[in-house]
Amino acid sequence: MLKSLAATGIVTVLLAMSAPAAIAGSSRSEEAGSSIPKCLVGTWHDNAGTTSTEWDGHRVTMHAGGGDVDHITAKGVDHDNWYKSKPAYGTYQGSRLKETIRGINKITFTVSKGKIHVTEDGWNSKATNKYVYRGQHSTGYLNQTGHSTVRYRCTAKKLTYLNKKGKVTGTETRKSRKP
């Protein structure tokens, strides 16, 4: 009944965010030894963005508050920490839906032609996905695997995610050059 479709900060908003919407990419064997553009390497703080979740069998657009922190290595491994992220909010059948994700999502990605190909490798064992809808508290689940592709632009201070039409779906702010 409940689930998060993404949840990867860099994916979430990387993830179009993810947060939590899914993304398609190359195989793990191709990714394992790859390197990524230096611009992407480092620690990034996810800003607000748009994602989605599945609620009662329907995809619901969520507006995420950001706050997860991506630690991206030169080999394309991201340890996306959601322990201090802000909740995401959406509307389902006229009522507010709140989703709060906690945990660390390991993500592997490669980059080609201005696109990031993302593979979600899974959430840590303490990860949780909690919902509040019409005053009722529920527990969802987080996908342990997934593939997606997002377009991006990167500067020394800002990472921007774009949809197929070039619309900004989320941004991240650099915290350090080292993950």
Which percentage of the chain shows pLDDT scores above 90? Answer: 64
Strands 88-92 and 146-154: unpaired
Strand, coil or helix: 39: helix
Each residue's pLDDT tens digit, 75-124: 999 999 999 999 999 999 999 999 999 999 999 989 988 899 999 999 99
Strand, coil or helix: 12: helix
What does the domain layout of the chain look like in residue ranges? 2-176
Res. 49 pLDDT band, cuts 50 70 90:
confident
Q: What single letter denotes the amino acid at residue 157?
A: K
Of the CA atoms within 13 Å of residue 44, those in its CB half-sphere come to: 35
Each residue's pLDDT tens digit, 122-139: 999 999 999 999 999 999
- The pLDDT assigned to 34 comes to 59
In degrees, rounded to 5, the angle at the alpha carbon of residue 18 between the alpha carbons of residues 68 and 64 is: 65
- The pLDDT assigned to 58 comes to 96
CA distances, 46 to each of 59, 68, 81, 96, 178 (Å): 22, 5, 10, 23, 16
Residue 26 pLDDT exceeds 70: no
Phi-psi region of 42 (alpha: psi -120 to 50; beta: other; left: phi over 0): left
CA distances, 95 to each of 68, 89, 98 (Å): 26, 10, 10
Residue 163 pLDDT exceeds 90: no
Strand, coil or helix: 29: helix
